[in-house]
Every structure is written in C-alpha cells, then in structure tokens.
C-alpha cells in the first residue's frame, strides 16, 4: 500500500519561501506562517535594519511571551472555575443532606 503524501504548503516568512508539510491543516499552517511573518516585520521595523536571525529570535520571544501570558490566563480561569465547582458541590451536598 502506498503511503499518503503529506499536504505541502508554500509559505513566505520575512521574504523567504518555505515548503512545509501541513498534514490535513493547510489553512492553519498558512495562518501560523502569516502570524510569524507579521511578528518578524513588526520587530524588523521596531529594531531597524538588523539581520534576519536576530529578527527571528526577537519575534520568537514575542510569540513565546504571548503564549505564556495566554496560558497563565487560561490556567487562572480554569482554577477559578474548579474552585467554584467545588464550592457549588459542597453547597449542594449540604442542601441534599438536610
């Protein structure tokens, strides 16, 4: 049986074209590439004329910061929801015992 070929997608990031294996999510990979490209252009403008490796590292730090902040926010919300669910379960248990 022949192996399925992965969906290849061509994206451009900071003036360079890359061919990536996208699995079934071609549109998602294109969105990711567009986000990275936008971050790199934003960093490139802010930092002035610097080499692409430095721009890539600074953009990666910005993207990592964004991810960490989102994760911290969702962890906090999940913890609050868990605390509320426990409190409601205790209240319900107390009412049902009476």
pLDDT above 70: residue 90: yes
pLDDT, the chain, mean: 85
Rounded-to-integer distance, Cα 10 and Cα 7, Å: 10
Q: Is the pTM of this model over 0.75?
A: no
Q: Would 2 be classed as within a structural domain? A: no
Q: Would 71 be classed as within a structural domain? A: yes
The pLDDT, as a whole number, for residue 72 is 83
Q: Would 1 be classed as within a structural domain? A: no
Tokens 């721009």, residue? 55
Q: Would 18 be classed as within a structural domain? A: yes
Based on the structure, what is the number of domains in the chain? 1
Q: Which two tokens mark 29?
A: 């990979």
Q: Would 3 be classed as within a structural domain? A: no
| Domain encompassing residue 64 | 8-97
Q: Would 48 be classed as within a structural domain? A: yes
Rounded-to-integer distance, Cα 10 and Cα 59, Å: 21
Q: Would 41 be classed as within a structural domain? A: yes
Q: Would 22 be classed as within a structural domain? A: yes
């Amino acid at each position: 049986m022949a192996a399925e070929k992965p969906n290849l997608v061509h994206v451009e990031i900071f003036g360079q074209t890359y061919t990536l294996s996208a699995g079934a999510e071609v549109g998602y990979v294109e969105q990711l590439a567009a986000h990275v490209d936008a971050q790199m252009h934003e960093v490139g403008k802010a930092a002035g004329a610097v080499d692409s490796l430095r721009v890539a590292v600074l953009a990666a730090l910005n993207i990592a910061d964004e991810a960490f902040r989102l994760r911290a926010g969702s962890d906090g919300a999940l913890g609050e929801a868990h605390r509320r669910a426990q409190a409601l379960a205790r209240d319900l248990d107390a009412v049902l015992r009476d």
